[in-house]
Structure 1
Amino acid sequence: MDDMMPLMTRATERTSGLVRAVRQDQFGSPTPCAKFDVKELINHLEWVAELFESLGRKGPWVEQEPYVGDFPERAEGTLAAWSRGEAWDGTSPAMGLPMTTLAHMYLVDMVVHGWDLARATGQRYEPEPEGVARALDFTGQMVEMGRQRGAFGPPVAVPDDASAFDRLLGVIGRDPAWTP
């Protein structure tokens, strides 16, 4: 918890700032995550925040609801749930995975979907190097399970000297050179 909470917090704050800056006329724009346009991506982030708040409280799996436009507020609830020491203990009753694994999944979502949103809306985005390193290490271990569950796409080749962030994007199936 001690090293993950600051990473989760900063990644969430970056993504929340990006969400706040999206204009309504950008909602229909494509994103690097092919299954989502901008509005659908923000709706996905709302669901991620709600789901991981529930999981952080050892609660049930929650289904995605229609878009509301309150991701930053939901994300604050997620961080509050995970800031409790007991959130990190044991295994999630809803997912059967260690709580530390779920925290890493959340971090990956915040880091990568932040980039998706920034790229789609022309915003500047620089993820925190520590968060990227942690997300890259985690996805390297979980990528096959992620692909089997549809969370990650086929890998995208990146140059050998690519940045850690570009390698993270490539591992999970994003093209770092994507433009709208």
Structure 2
Amino acid sequence: MEDMMPLMTRASERTAGLVRGVRREQFGSATPCAKFDVKDLVNHLEWVAELFESLGRGGPSVEQGPYAGDFPERTERTLAAWSRPEAWEGTSPAMGLPMTALAHMYLVDMVVHGWDLARATGQEYEPDPEVVSRALHFTEQMAEMGRQRGAFGPPVAVPDDAPPFDRLLGLIGRDPAWTG
């Protein structure tokens, strides 16, 4: 927990800042995540925050609701849930995975969807190298399960010497060179 909370916080704050930078006229713009336009992606992020808040409190999986425009506030509640030591104990009753794995899943969502949003809206995005390192290490171990569960697409080939963030993006099915 001690080493993950700062990473989760930095990734959440960075993505919340990107969400705040989205203009309404950008809602219909395409994103690197093919199934989402910008508004759908922000709505997905709202759901991710709500889901991981519930899971961090030992609660159930939750369904995605309609767009609410409150992602930054939701991330604050998510981080509060995970700041409790008991949030890190055992296995999630709702997901059947260790709580530490769920925290890593949240981290991957924040860093990758932050990039998706930045690319789609023309915002600058430089992910924290420590966040990227942790997300890449976790994703290398979980990529096949992620694909089986529909969370990741087919891998996109990137050079072996590509930067770690490009390798993370390729691993989960994003093209690091994507432009709208």
**Shared fold, TM over 0.5:** yes
Shift in Å, 1:46: 0.2
Shift in Å, 1:160: 1.9
Runs of 4+ in structure 1 over 3 Å off: none
Aligned length: 180
- 2:150 matched residue in structure 1: 150
- 1:167 matched residue in structure 2: 167
Amino acid aligned to 1:84:
R
- 1:22 matched residue in structure 2: 22
Instruction: Point out where structure 2 has 5 or more consecutive residues left out of the alignment.
Output: none
In the alignment, the residues of structure 2 paired with residue 55 and residue 159 of structure 1 have an alpha-carbon distance, to the nearest angstrom, of 36
* Per-residue Cα deviation, 1:119-176 (whole angstroms, up to 9, x for no partner): 0000000000000000000000000000000000000001121000000000000000
In the alignment, the residues of structure 1 paired with residue 74 and residue 152 of structure 2 have an alpha-carbon distance, to the nearest angstrom, of 24
Residue 126 (1) aligns with residue 126 (2): yes
In the alignment, the residues of structure 2 paired with residue 75 and residue 42 of structure 1 have an alpha-carbon distance, to the nearest angstrom, of 12
**TM-score, with length taken from structure 1:** 1.00
**TM-score, with length taken from structure 2:** 1.00
In the alignment, the residues of structure 1 paired with residue 33 and residue 3 of structure 2 have an alpha-carbon distance, to the nearest angstrom, of 28
- 1:69 matched residue in structure 2: 69
- 1:7 matched residue in structure 2: 7
Amino acid aligned to 1:162:
A
- 1:179 matched residue in structure 2: 179
- 2:91 matched residue in structure 1: 91
Instruction: Point out where structure 1 has 5 or more consecutive residues left out of the alignment.
Output: none
Shift in Å, 1:19: 0.1
Aligned-pair identity (%): 84
Amino acid aligned to 1:71:
F
